[in-house]
Amino acid sequence: QVHLQESGPGLVKPSETLSLSCAVSDHSISSPYYWGWLRQPPGKGLQWIGSIFHSGYTHYNPSLQSRVTISVDTSRNQFSLRLTSVTASDTAVYYCARHGDYGEYWYFDLWGRGTLATVSS
């Protein structure tokens, strides 16, 4: 069964960079899906951060685009998120998730369990 697992430091200092990885198990990351990152501040709603295809083609949320880089490592079957210049408002549970390659399939049918990243000095 396909499984996504986020990993990364749970605590990041203000102004530093948040780096997370998502390992994909029992499924090739080179299959025709996009692999995305979303986040959810404690007690709040969901925000899409961006998505990447195995070719490296990316789509980003314009509200975060200046600070976000999503990359893919097909040899390790994982993809990653970098968010620079973090502030307390970036504190959230970060999820990795999968969605289809064509627009009509851009809903998230598979999710990791999420990892809490806290921005604090």
Partner 1 sequence: DIVMTQSPDSLAVSLGERATINCKSSQSVFYNYNNKNYLTWYQQKPGQPPKVIIYWASTRESGVPDRFSGSGSGTDFTLTISSLQAEDVAVYYCQQHHSSPITFGQGTRLEIK
Residues lying near partner 1 in the complex (CB under 8 A): 45-48, 59, 61-63, 95, 97, 99, 103-104, 106-109, 111-114
CA 112 to chain centre: 10
| Residue closer to partner 1 (CB basis): 51 or 80 | 51
Tell me the CB-side half-sphere exposure of residue 21, using CA atoms within 13 A: 12
- Shortest Å distance, C-beta 33 to partner 1: 14
Closest listed residue to residue 59, CA positions, set 112, 100, 23, 18:
100
Report strand pairing: 18-25 vs 3-7: antiparallel
3-state secondary structure of 89: helix
Q: Whole-number minimum distance, CB 71 to partner 1, in Å?
A: 19
